[in-house]
Amino acid sequence: MKVLFFDTWTLGIGNFVPIARELENKNVDCLFVHRGSLGAEPGRPKEEVIQGIKTRDISFYSSSLIHKIFNKEKPDAIVILSSFYILDRAVILSARALGIKTFFLMPGIREVDEEYIRTTEYETKFKKLNSIKAKLAKIPKYLTFVIPNYFYSGMQNSKYFFLSLSPWKTLVELFLQPGRKILYPTPSNEIHCDKALVYASRYKRFFHEKYGYPLEQIEIVGNPSLDGAHDIINDQDKKVIFEKQFREQQKIETNKPIVTYLTTPFVEAGYEGWTSKVRVEQIKEFLEGCIETGFHLVVKLHPAIKDPEIYELEKNFSDITIVYACDLPSLVNISSAIIGHHSSTLLIPIALEKPLFIPRWGLMSALNDRFSGEGVAVAVKSLEQLVLSLQQLKLKHFSNIVGPEKKIFFDNYISIFDGKAVERCGNLIHAQINNKA
């Protein structure tokens, strides 16, 4: 048996690795195929091993038509991280034609209603995709790769595909409103995998209501990134060992409590106004607040952030540590508080019931705040408010958010927290390809 993981580039492989290992324990061969050399990662090796998974760029194959690649590899299942882009449709249609099971795997939390498209963040991040300049820039890729794949896969699934109205309507809608249709495509079975593996109950409802997924094709599996957080809750020995090793490696004083900032790649994603200099100055403000209140600031970088300017902070200040890779749940577990914006990683401090501060001043005030209004985080609207909150935390006068709002959030957006999400995903995929489900 073989499972093929497919994505646009290699950066998302972390979503696949735990499930691949689970499947390999069930004697399933795993292969990761991506198209990085055609876009985000030019010059990527044709074949390599990443985190133990055999990985192939699309340039490894004699054709750039994914249908021919799937036909050559003959996997029993294909796992993807999105199911609503045009190329995703090609993947799904091709798989149907070849009798291959398809699975959508949530790669992170997301907005669950269309109110998001009215926010300032949407205006700066997605609406720019509607500009003529942005549309023209994508034409070469669409004409040479995306659209040929879409129609080739569609015609393998149905000989009348080219003559039907549906694909032409899809392309017109995307061209007229790419900013909206990227997030909220018109419901169609072209964007429905055999199974959508979602984190929680609110996402099951969202995928049914907004994407038209039949309820029986949606499985709530829990959040794989929270498995590690669950496993360390009652493991005091692991916490002590990790903290001792981490402080020694990073030369952090044993008596100085840690505040961790979980970064988001706003610069790399092209958010308006965000530059390397702006980001460094923002981190300096957090550092200033930590120094004033007697905390050591740990900055955990997102995998997409490779900005050398950030590391200069370590050379100039003794109260800051920059970390690129580490055991994130353990780092959160030894932290007195977390600072963050809106990324999926913030579910870890929420699950571990750590104080979570969402900075909301300057450019950060335009970011979408998914958490403070849900009773699981505190919005701080100035450096002074952050300092005050840290002072209260230091004096043990800070009360973390508890109560009915928090329970509602857990029920809606976490739902299952038992450390078995990866196992559940592996079992579902394995059962499907064995025709047991």
CATH code at position 201: 3.40.50.2000
Pairing of strands 320-323, 337-339: unpaired
CA separation for the pair 278, 69 (Å, rounded): 43
User: What is the Cα–Cα distance from 269 to 250, expressed in whole angstroms?
Assistant: 29
% of the chain beyond a pLDDT of 70: 92
- Calculate the average pLDDT of the chain: 90
Instruction: Indicate if 10 and 158 belong to the same structural domain.
Output: yes
**Does residue 235 sit in the same domain as residue 271?**
yes
What single DSSP character describes residue 376?
S
**Phi and psi for 262 in degrees, rounded to 5?**
-95, 110
List beta partners, residue 30.
3
**Same-domain status, 236 and 310:** yes
Number of domains, the chain: 2
Output the six-digit token pair for 194.
């055999």
Q: Are residues 193 and 253 in the same domain?
A: no
Q: Over the stretch 164-190, which tens digit does the pLDDT of each residue have?
A: 888 888 888 878 776 666 677 888 999
Spell out a b/e string for 331-359, using b for 16 or more CB atoms within 10 Å of the CB, else e. bbbbbbbbbbbbebbbbbbbbbebbbbbb
What band does 236 get if pLDDT is binned at 50, 70 and 90? confident
pLDDT tens-digit profile of 94-115? Answer: 999 999 999 999 998 887 766 6
Residue pLDDT, tens place only, 312-368: 999 999 999 999 989 999 999 999 999 999 889 999 999 999 999 999 999 999 888
- pLDDT score of 130: 63
The pairing of strands 29-34 and 53-57 is parallel
- Position 401 pLDDT exceeds 60: no
Q: Are residues 130 and 144 in the same domain?
A: yes
Q: Hey, what are 82's tokens?
A: 């999105």
pLDDT tens digits for 70-85? 999 999 999 999 988 8
For residues 275 and 323, state if they share a domain: yes
pLDDT digit string, tens, across residues 258-286: 999 999 999 988 888 999 999 999 999 99
Residues 269 and 398 in one domain: yes
What domain range includes position 315?
A: 227-414
Average pLDDT estimate for 222-237: 91
Q: With pLDDT > 90 as the criterion, what percentage of the chain qualifies?
A: 70
